[in-house]
Chains A and B, each alone.
Chain A
Amino acid sequence: MQRTTNVFISGVGGQGILLASEILSDVALAHGLDVKKSEVHGMAQRGGSVVSHVRFGEKVYSPVIAEREADLLVSFEKMEALRWIHYIAPEGTVVVNDQEIVPSGMERYPEDIDEGLSKRAPNAHIIDALALANEAGNARAVNTVMLGAFSNYLEFTEEDWKKAIEARVPPKTVDINLKAFALGRAAGAR
């Protein structure tokens, strides 16, 4: 039996994490795989830490990923990568957006995040997704940049991704999102 692939996505409420995991799930479903995707709505969306679990394979039971079993840990924000780093599997891949978002209640961003990340995930792929999103034409396209970046580490074709993006994002933003995806895919290449 084909083993289950686990993709763990984290970030801050409002960064578009749910759309990214939605598109990933669509791609996996289109391949005829069993897919489960889990996140929590409500209180968690108000600028808090947000995570989404996506699992796909021949048969998936739990909708959440077990700790130390994420094949891919993607974080849209640096602190949020470190917060959930215990989910990564020993041979797993980490893709992180270089962006820093100061948690409310703190006046400054904590200083030890880079150090912590380089200790826990020395081979992490660091992407400046905000700069690439701006280059694509909209700062809010950080999520599709990240999608492009981590798409390099999954066995789906570029065409699969493009189709899923076109079907999900608002029609007016298709071009910006496809550009953001392409920039992310180039920046995140192995």
Chain B
Amino acid sequence: MRVLLSGNEAVARGCYEHGVKVATAYPGTPSTEILENVVRYKDDIYCQWSPNEKVAFEVAMGAAFGGVRTIVAMKHVGLNVAADPLMTSTSVGGDGGFVIVTGDDPGMHSSQNEQDNRYYAKFAKIPLVEPSDSQEVIDYVGAAFEISERFGTPVLFRLTTRLCHAKTPVELGKRTEVERKEYEKDTTLRVVIPAHARRLHVKVEKRLEEIRKFAETSPLNRVEEGDPAVGVISSGIAYQYARDAFPDATFLKLGLSFPFPTELARKFCARFDTVYIVEENEPFIEEHLRYAGITNIVGKEKVPLCGELNQSIVARSFGGGDEPDRAAVAPRPPVLCPGCPHRSTFFTLNHLGIGSTSDIGCYTLGVMPPLEGIDTTICMGASIGNALGFEKAIGRDFAKKMVAVIGDSTFVHSGMTGLADVAYNKGATTVIIVDNSITAMTGHQHHPGTGMTLMGEPTTKLDYIALAESMGVKDARRVDAFDMEAVKTAIKEATDNPEASLVVMEGPCALMVRKTWTQPYSVDTENCTGCGVCLRLGCPAISRDEDGKAVINPLFCVGEICGMCAQVCPAKCISVPVEISA
């Protein structure tokens, strides 16, 4: 059957068809939907969200030790978190096939950097597989497992945002079961004491050379004949852009791009005066060509290194066409949703003149005007360490002026160790967990703080207060995030406390509780003074009318589950209309 699947759905389908038995991940755009779709095959594949990518990686590695085909999926920066097990797992090698999926984000649609994870394959000395549409994703998942099992190595499977989220046609196939390999204890292979690790390094170098020879003739690397005068080398989604920009050229399309098939590329380049290298972000292919002494190539001197490509940019890079004439329009950045529980925290911090080191999640949108409640955001979990560092540099009193704000999922991911550090090193830091009880930014995934597994089973639920107290943070409290007065009191008291403190701002993600939305609020225009206090909440439902009075868009307002605007209105002129029965 022919259907449209996104690249992420295709990874899940590939796992199903190619006999995968265990799949793990921590959600992160653009890779989240991989596991969300694997769970559709949960009768055949065990799958789980892990607290972070490092744990997800280690669980997957253990499953591969246990002899079954396993995948672990994460966004590009997630692989930084999992880099420690990655760098050593590669010398240990697979027992069951082991595929690591990375979702890179050229253009940074939803990320803090634009790192090109192809370099991780080179760094960790493992094969790199790069599909360019959903059908290739399904087929290459199978190929990646075959490579993994044949050469005893994990394989890095690289997708990019456009590939993850673009839907393209695929043929659905049947599942092929792959038998579990019997586990046998072998400490020389799996216990990396230096004596063993030295031998393993030699083995890895030998293995890499064998895989390179394999890559020279692998069908994943193919020449597509065309105009004998124009040669192009490309891989991944960049290949599709190059195909549109050079419709008639001869292509060397790389699907197994590391270890680099040097001789194949050398033979290809010898056929042309100049070969065009089209790749997104870093010059990964180009560096291999130049290292091999191949010089009749044009790549990053023409093709932009920063940002996402498309066929127009590729064509323009080589002199085809000019920039289009854009209309000047005010930006429309993403914002906290109407009814978002995080709004009260940033509104109050702003009101009290307190800054925050913040973290990765929806609440990072608290940086936007008018909330403007954030000073720093770097990576998952950084908020707490950053806040403690500020305090150590500037002085203990500075903790009154700078709190750490972190989401529930992010806190479990890598905030817990930060909180332990605050307690252990006698910080005065106030940590605010904005707890909407879900991983919201990526589309609502469960985590150890929600009480539900990916397989859909109820489970234990992490208690942040008990955790903080056990670490030695005595001032730990829960607050209703929709009670503006309580939020203000809690932040004041916690920052006044000279010891470390934790405030858990509780309120469900508005998108998770649609069924509880009520009649929208409205403004009593006669009594509205146009003071603009409600507008400082930055709620997308509120704007001004022609007379400068506040007006609430009834299509956006979620009603009484929120009510922050009604609480902050000094004229008390915002309410939910009461229906008077006849």
Q: Do A and B come from one complex?
A: yes
Measured CB to CB, the closest approach of chain A to B313, in angstroms, equals: 9
Interface of B is mostly: loop
**Nearest-CB residue, chain A, relative to B163:** A63
| Neighbour of B335 across the interface among A48, A82, A83, CB < 8 A | A48
B370 within 8 A of A: yes
In chain A, positions 70-122 with a C-beta closer than 8 Å to chain B are: 79-80, 82-83, 85-87, 102-110, 113, 116, 120
Q: Which residues of the other chain, A, contact B334 by a CB distance below 8 angstroms?
A: 13, 43-48
A152 within 8 A of B: no
Say whether B336 contacts A46, CB under 8 Å. Answer: yes
- Tally A-B pairs: CB < 8 A: 153
Task: Identify the interface centre among A13, A26, A64, A120: most chain B CB within 10 Å of its CB.
Answer: A64
Compute how far the CA of A130 lies from the CA of B30 in the bound complex, rounded to whole angstroms.
32
Q: List 14 A-B contacts (CB under 8 A).
A: A25-B4, A34-B169, A35-B169, A36-B133, A38-B166, A42-B30, A43-B109, A47-B335, A61-B243, A66-B244, A83-B332, A85-B326, A104-B332, A107-B535
Say whether A35 contacts B327, CB under 8 Å. Answer: no
A-B pairs, top 6 by smallest CB distance, nearest first, are A42-B29, A42-B110, A48-B334, A63-B166, A46-B334, A86-B324
Decide yes or no: A62 and B310 within 8 Å by CB, A104-B538, A107-B544 being known contacts. yes
| Neighbour of B169 across the interface among A29, A40, A42, A116, CB < 8 A | A29
Q: Which residues of the other chain, A, contact B540 by a CB distance below 8 angstroms?
A: 47, 104
In chain B, positions 342-371 with a C-beta closer than 8 Å to chain A are: 362, 365, 368-370
Say whether B167 contacts A36, CB under 8 Å. Answer: yes
Compute how far the CA of A67 lies from the CA of B243 in the bound complex, rounded to whole angstroms.
16
Decide yes or no: A67 and B312 within 8 Å by CB, A47-B334, A82-B327, A104-B538 being known contacts. yes
A128 within 8 A of B: no
A68 within 8 A of B: yes
Say whether B167 contacts A82, CB under 8 Å. Answer: no
Compute how far the CA of A41 lies from the CA of B164 in the bound complex, rounded to whole angstroms.
10
A185 within 8 A of B: no
Q: Which residues of the other chain, B, contact A85 by a CB distance below 8 angstroms?
A: 326-327
Number of interface residues of B (CB under 8 A): 56
A179 within 8 A of B: no
Say whether B241 contacts A47, CB under 8 Å. Answer: no
| Neighbour of A105 across the interface among B168, B335, B362, CB < 8 A | B335
**Nearest-CB residue, chain A, relative to B440:** A46
A interface, CB within 8 angstroms of B: 12-13, 25-26, 29, 34-49, 60-64, 66-68, 79-80, 82-83, 85-87, 102-110, 113, 116, 120, 139
Say whether A38 contacts B312, CB under 8 Å. Answer: no
**Nearest-CB residue, chain B, relative to A110:** B330
Q: Which residues of the other chain, A, contact B110 by a CB distance below 8 angstroms?
A: 40-44
Say whether A68 contacts B543, CB under 8 Å. Answer: no
Q: Which residues of the other chain, A, contact B332 by a CB distance below 8 angstroms?
A: 12, 47-49, 79-80, 83, 103-104
B393 within 8 A of A: no
Compute how far the CA of A183 lies from the CA of B33 in the bound complex, rounded to whole angstroms.
35
Compute how far the CA of A116 lies from the CA of B325 in the bound complex, rounded to whole angstroms.
13
Decide yes or no: A43 and B441 within 8 Å by CB, A67-B324, A79-B330, A107-B544 being known contacts. yes
Say whether B162 contacts A64, CB under 8 Å. Answer: yes
B274 within 8 A of A: no
Compute how far the CA of A48 lies from the CA of B109 in the bound complex, rounded to whole angstroms.
12
Compute how far the CA of A109 lies from the CA of B3 in the bound complex, rounded to whole angstroms.
41
Measured CB to CB, the closest approach of chain A to B312, in angstroms, equals: 4
Decide yes or no: A35 and B535 within 8 Å by CB, A63-B240, A66-B312 being known contacts. no
A-B contact sample (13 more), CB < 8 A, given A37-B167, A108-B544: A25-B4, A36-B133, A38-B167, A41-B29, A42-B30, A43-B110, A46-B337, A48-B333, A63-B240, A64-B162, A79-B329, A86-B327, A105-B335
Compute how far the CA of A37 lies from the CA of B538 in the bound complex, rounded to whole angstroms.
33
